[in-house]
Structure 1
C-alpha cells in the first residue's frame, strides 16, 4: 500500500456546496419575497454566487476576515442586482449561515467510496478552509463525521490552504509523513498546488472536466474513480 493517509477537502469535493447553497438561497428568496424587486431567483443565486466566490478569494488571500466576508456578501449582491444595500433583508446572512450547514447533499458515490477506503485500511482525514463550527455542522448533518480521524480547519490551524503550514499541521496531527499521504480536492490552487508544495501527492477532483495545464499526480471526474487508484 503506497499511501496510508488520505486527506480530503470537504466543500465541492464530498459535500455538494453548490446544490446545498442553491436550496438555501431559494428558501431565503421565497421567505423574504425578494422577487418583489423584479429579480428572478436564478439571477439572485447567480449574482450571490459570483460575489461570494470573489469574497472567498479575498479571504483566502488574507485580505478580508470572516466577519467582513459574512457582512458584505448579501449587500453587495443586492447592489449588483441594481438595488440598494438596504434592500438586503436584515439578518439574511446569519440565516444563510444557520441554514446552509444543515443541508445534506453530497457528491455521488461519497459514502460508497469512503466505506471502501475505510474497509481497505486507509486512514481518512479532512483539511478544509471552512470555519470550524460550520464545517462540523455540515459533517454531522450529512453523516460524514464518523469517517474521519483528524478534521483540520484553517480556523483552528491559523493558516489557509494553499499555505504549506496547514498541510504540515495536518500531517503532524495524523501522525503521518508526506510520502505516505495523498490529498484529494477540487481546487487546483488550494488543494493540488498546496499539497504539492508540502510534498504530498494529489488527486484533482474535476467533475466539470475543466481544462488546465497543471501537473497532477491523479485526476478524476467522479469519486468512484478513487477505487481505481487506491
Structure 2
C-alpha cells in the first residue's frame, strides 16, 4: 500500500453535510419571512427550485463567469421571481442571512469524526474548499472539525477554484506537500477527483449515491469509514 505524507479533504458534501445543513437554513428563512403566505407553495418546491438554480450559478462561479457578490443574491432573486415575489430587497436579506445561519448548522456525514480520529495520529490533514471563506471556518468550528486539520486552503486565498490545478499547487506550497505523496478525498468527481488526478495526486472518490462513471480513479468508497481500509 502506498504511503502518503499528506491527506487533503474537500469539506462540503464530503465531511460537512451541506445539503442537510443548507435545507435546514432555507426552511428557517422561509418560516422567518412567512414566504408560504406570500406565494411559495411549499418548502419542498422552494428547495427543489433553489437547488437547480444554485447549482447552475455555482457552475458559473467556478468558471469565473459570475462574481461571488452576484451569486449570493441572484440565486434567491431568481427563485423568488419564479414564485411571483419580485422583491430584490428580500433576495438581499436572504443572501445575507443564509450565510449567517448556514455555518451554525453542524450535521456531518456518518463516520466523519471516527474517521478523522483514526487518521489524525497517522497523517497531516488539510482542507481544500471552493466554499466562501467567511463561512468555512465557522462551519468547521461548530461541527467539531477544526482540531483535525493543519491548513485550510480556500479558493479565495488561492485565487482559483477546483478543479484548476492552481489551487492544488497553492495547497502544496502552503503545506509543504508533494503531489506524488498526497491523497485527495472528495465527493465531486470532475472538481475534486479529476482535478487532483490531473495534478498528479492519488484520489479517493466519496460516492455515497453510487453515481455511475467510467473514470479511472485511485479509490472509490460509498461510506467514509471504508477509508479506514485504505489508510
Partner of 1:109: 111
Distance 1:30 1:191, change over 3 A: same
- Total equivalences in the alignment: 228
Shift in Å at residue 79 of structure 1?
Answer: 2.2
**Is there any run of 5+ residues in structure 1 with no aligned partner, and where?**
none
Q: Residue in 1 aligned with 2:217?
A: 216
Could you report, residue by residue, the CA deviation over 1:175-220 in whole angstroms, capped at 9, with x for unpaired residues? 1111110000001111011101110001111111111111111001
Query: The residue matched to 2:161 in structure 1 has which SS?
Result: coil
- State the SS of the aligned residue for 2:120: helix
What is the rounded CA distance, in whole Å, between the counterparts of 1:200 and 1:227 in structure 2? 19
Counterpart in the other structure of 1:169 = 170
TM-score with structure 1 length normalisation?
0.96
Q: Is the 8 A contact 1:206 1:219 kept in 2?
A: yes
Query: Normalized against structure 2, the TM-score is what?
Result: 0.95
Aligned to 1:58: 60
Q: CA deviation at 1:87?
A: 7.4
Q: CA deviation at 1:164?
A: 0.5
Runs of 4+ in 1 over 4 A off after TM superposition: none
Contact 1:195 1:202 in 2 (8 A): yes
The equivalent residue for 1:178 is 179
Q: Which residue of 1 aligns with 2:71?
A: 69
Please list every run of 5 or more consecutive structure 2 residues that lacks an aligned counterpart in the other structure.
none
Is the 1:76–1:85 Cα contact (8 Å) retained in structure 2?
A: no
Give the equivalent residue in structure 2 for 1:201.
202
Contact 2:40 2:46 in 1 (8 A): no
User: Is the 1:74–1:88 contact (alpha carbons within 8 Å) kept by the matching residues of 2?
Assistant: no
Offset, 1:144: 0.5
- Superposed CA RMSD: 1.2
Q: Aligned-pair distance for 1:50?
A: 1.1
> Who is 2:43 aligned against?
41
Residue 131 of structure 1: CA displacement?
Answer: 1.5
Shift in Å, 1:80? 2.8
SS in 2 for 1:127: strand
In structure 1, how many angstroms separate the alpha carbons of the residues matched to 2:69 and 2:152?
Answer: 23
Mapped to 1, the partners of 2:81 and 2:221 lie a distance apart of: 38
Would you say the 8 A contact 1:205–1:221 is kept in 2?
yes
Aligned counterparts of 2:3 and 2:82: Cα–Cα separation in 1: 49
Task: Give, in angstroms, the shift of residue 132 of structure 1.
Answer: 1.2
